[in-house]
Every structure is written in structure tokens, then in C-alpha cells.
Amino acid sequence: MDFNDSPEQAEFRQKVIAWLDENVDKKASLSTGGMESEQALIEARAWQNKIFDAGWACQTWPKEYGGRGASAIEQVIWSQEVSKYPTRDGFFAIGIGNCGPAIMLYGSEDQKRKLLPRMARADDIWCQMFSEPGAGSDVAGLKTRAEKQGDKWIVNGQKIWTSQAQYADYGVLLTRTDPSLAKHKGLTMFFLDMKQPGVEVRPIKQADGGQAFNEVFFTDVEIPDEQRLGDVNGGWGVALTVLMNERLAIAGVAPNGWPEYWDMIRELQLDGRPALEDAEVRRKTAEWYVKNAGLKNAQARMLSAVAKGGIPGAEASLGKLVGAPMCQDISRYALDLFAQSGACTEEQLSIMNGQFQKAYLYAPGLRVAGGTDEVMRNIIAEQVLGLPPDVRIDKGVPFNEIQAGNQGGK
Ligand SMILES: Cc1cc2nc3c(=O)[nH]c(=O)nc-3n(C[C@H](O)[C@H](O)[C@H](O)COP(=O)(O)OP(=O)(O)OC[C@H]3O[C@@H](n4cnc5c(N)ncnc54)[C@H](O)[C@@H]3O)c2cc1C
């Protein structure tokens, strides 16, 4: 395992750093913390346009679809470096990171040429509609139905927690097409126009006042069969492609709060003395320093695998399982240290522009999005440690015979 960049990777990293240094205002303060305002969308689109014009967008995509035909490791290096700057691309991350690769693998040539460059250039926003009120961790238990009528499908049902659906032009949608098959086997994936009749998006108000995700309702929504991604009842395989690419998109950039904490704690004064002279602060700081070092090494191991042509495996779950709770602990502790001013969320008035206040509110979501702590533990137990699998009493049982109240079964 080599933790250092190869000479080619180091050269590429330097190129990226030079371009970012020249093109990003490091001191810029983003107008809001999340993906909830029109202003944030304008900033995100301008940034994505800029990196597209400079040829950095969608590193691994073929040039004819708007990318630069680069290797996965270059994509990871780019993501690592760009994550150190105050830029905004969250509105396009799900499209480019998750939906794009699915279109690339399962879309027709016409669809690829039409949709992918628009995605890369930030002309269109995409969302991912998997989770439902009764199907999150166990997403294969979803109930949204798609029924074939001639050469189109009629969709009825509901999704939830769909990030940026209120802005989305398109979405990928996982549906149940055959309830008589076992739950993973009767699913089919589509993409659809989010502005078409029968699609209703209702934003969900969050604890921090933002509205980054939504409920989406489908009433007799028509989807042409040519917008099916993959085989009928083969949707689970397509969903796994989307989720695997999500891992690559976040590989190496999962936040844990350490860089912000370290910047803050070196400057903070408590009762007129440097905070780092306090024994308890030193103990906590040492603990997070060690965790951060462990995460960095685990990440380097994952990057070595990516550089050799692999994809981030279950190790990515480790980063999230340690990093997301760490982010929550750090932000909670920072707010304690700030005493009364910890309650102030006003960017201009708060220490470090209110970053810790924002992190405190979004960290719980970080622990849930893309798989909860418990789900990460199950993945690590089964796929890394080789422990016996979670109990699955519905394995192989036709979906419409599963005895589970709200699962749509008996
Ligand atoms: C910020 C954010 C953005 C999101 N964006 C999207 C999006 O764009 N598209 C989308 O489709 N979804 C999205 N989600 C939904 C997300 O994927 C789900 O919230 C997540 O998978 C958990 O599902 P759930 O909320 O239904 O919780 P549940 O699955 O109902 O879990 C409830 C509790 O049970 C525990 N649990 C469940 N199963 C097990 C098990 N087998 N063993 C042990 N414990 C278990 C969980 O850990 C949790 O504590 C988003 C979520 C968040 C927080």
C-alpha cells in the first residue's frame, strides 16, 4: 500500500491546485449552508459552468458525453482538492455522481448524447427517488408501482427524502413492477421528466429552517418504455450501480469536522487563556486528532485500490461510520466551548461564520443519508469482517406474501 501520489498523480494534483487557487475565492462565504435557496442554486450553477468550460467537469466520463475521459483516481484527487475550498456543487452532485453513471450504462446512445452533456454543464438538475416512508434502509421493500400499458408505464406511489426534487428537471425512479416476485427481484428503474403531469413535489421543512429534501407523489404518471433503465424486474442491479457510484463520488471527501475544529481551537481563548492549555480540551483534541489520522490512512488505502482500477468497497462505510458521528461530536463540543454565543446562528456574528452551528444541525442527517450507522455496521460486519449476515426472514418470499403491515404485503 502506497500512501503517496505517484509522480503522475502528484503532477495532476498540482495542476488542480493551481487552477483552484486561481479560480476560487478562498475567503468567499457561501450565502447559506445548504441547498435550500435560489441564490445557492445560482452560485452552484455558475461554479459548475466554470469547471465545465475549463474541462474539469465529470472527470471519468467520455469526452463525447461532456467529460474528460480521465481515470477514477483523477476524479478522487479533484474531489479531495475541491473539497478544501468554499465552492458549491451539491445541486448537481446526485445527477453527476449517481444518475449519470446509470444513464451511461443503461441509456440508449441518443439518451446519453442528449442528457449527459446537459447534466455535466449544469443545464439540468437530477434527483434520485429510492426511499419511501416504509422503505429506507431496506429500500427493496418499496411500494411505488409501475404497470405496463402498451409501450408506456403508469406509475402511482410516493417517495420521500428526495434531495433537491423541488429544483429537479429529471429523476431516476425505482419502482415495483412485479409484486409476485421476491422483493429484490420485482423492481424496475426508470428516468423521468420531473415537470410532467402527475408528479407533485412537496418540500420538507428542516430543523435548521432549510428545505433541502422533499416528498414526491406520483398519480398516473406516464413513462415511455424507452425511459426504462435496465431490464424489467432488473432494477435492483441498476440501483446497486447508482449506489456504488455514490461511494466513488464521496470517496475521500466525507466531512468529519476536524479541519474546521483544528483551525478554530488553535485561536480560541477560554477565560483569557488559549483553549489548548485546558486539560479537557487537550484530551478531546488528541482523541479527534487520532481519529482523523486513522480516517486519513483508511482513505489512503481506499484510494490505492481506486488507483489500481478498483472501486471503493465496504471501506467507504468505515469512513462514514466514524466521520459522521465525529462531525456531530465536534460541532456539539465547539458550541459548548462558545457558551452563549454558540446559540447564535447569524453568519456575520458567529465564530467562523457559524460553521459549527450549521454542522450541529446537519450532522444527524449525515449519519442517516446514504445509509445509517447501523446499516454501515452491518456492511462492515458482513463484507469486511466476514461475520454471519443480518437475519432476513423475508429472503426469497414473494413481496405480496410478506407479512409486514405497511410493506404492501398481506
Ligand atoms: C440529508 C438526507 C438526504 C437524503 N437524500 C435522499 C435522496 O436524494 N434520495 C433518496 O432516495 N433517499 C434520500 N435520503 C433517505 C435515506 O437514504 C434514508 O433516510 C436512509 O436510507 C434511512 O432510511 P429511513 O430514514 O427510512 O430509516 P429506517 O430505515 O426506517 O431506519 C430507522 C432506524 O432503524 C435502524 N435500522 C434499519 N434497518 C436496520 C438493520 N437491518 N439493522 C439494524 N438497524 C437497522 C436504522 O439504523 C435507523 O436507526 C436522504 C436522507 C437524508 C438524511
pLDDT in tens, 236-294: 999 998 887 776 666 556 778 998 999 999 999 999 999 999 999 999 999 999 999 99
User: 151 CA to middle of ligand 1, Å?
Assistant: 34
CATH code, 351: 1.20.140.10
Is the same domain home to 199 and 276? no
In this prediction, residue 3 has a pLDDT band, given cuts at 50, 70 and 90, of low
User: 124 CA to middle of ligand 1, Å?
Assistant: 26
Is the same domain home to 380 and 260? yes
The whole-number pLDDT of residue 30 equals 44
Q: What is the pLDDT of residues 281-293, one digit of tens each?
A: 999 999 999 999 9
pTM of the model: 0.91
Is the same domain home to 99 and 152? no
For 175, how many CA atoms within 13 A lie in the half-sphere containing its CB? 31
Q: Is 48 in the pocket of ligand 1 (CB under 6 A)?
A: no
CATH code, 85: 1.10.540.10
DSSP state, 135? B
Question: Which residue, among 188, 154, 181, has the nearest Cα to 409 in the 3D structure?
Answer: 181
Q: Is 130 in the pocket of ligand 1 (CB under 6 A)?
A: yes
Is the same domain home to 137 and 220? yes
Domain assignment present for 403:
no
User: 296 CA to middle of ligand 1, Å?
Assistant: 26
Domain assignment present for 380:
yes
Number of domains in the chain: 3
Residue range of the domain that includes 84: 7-123
Contact 176, 145 (CB under 8 A): yes
Ligand 1, atom 9: closest residue by C-alpha: 162
Q: What is the pLDDT of residues 149-168, one digit of tens each?
A: 999 999 999 999 999 999 99
Contact 78, 15 (CB under 8 A): no
User: 91 CA to middle of ligand 1, Å?
Assistant: 20
CATH code, 142: 2.40.110.10
Q: Is 362 in the pocket of ligand 1 (CB under 6 A)?
A: no
Last residue of a domain, one of 67, 90, 123: 123
- Burial code of 13-23, b = ≥16 C-beta within 10 A, e = fewer? beebeebbeee
Is the same domain home to 135 and 53? no
Q: What is the pLDDT of residues 360-380, one digit of tens each?
A: 998 998 899 888 999 999 988
Is the same domain home to 134 and 150? yes
Which one of 368, 376, 393, 395 would you pick to mutate in the ligand 1 pocket, going by the greatest count of ligand atoms within 8 A of its CB? 368
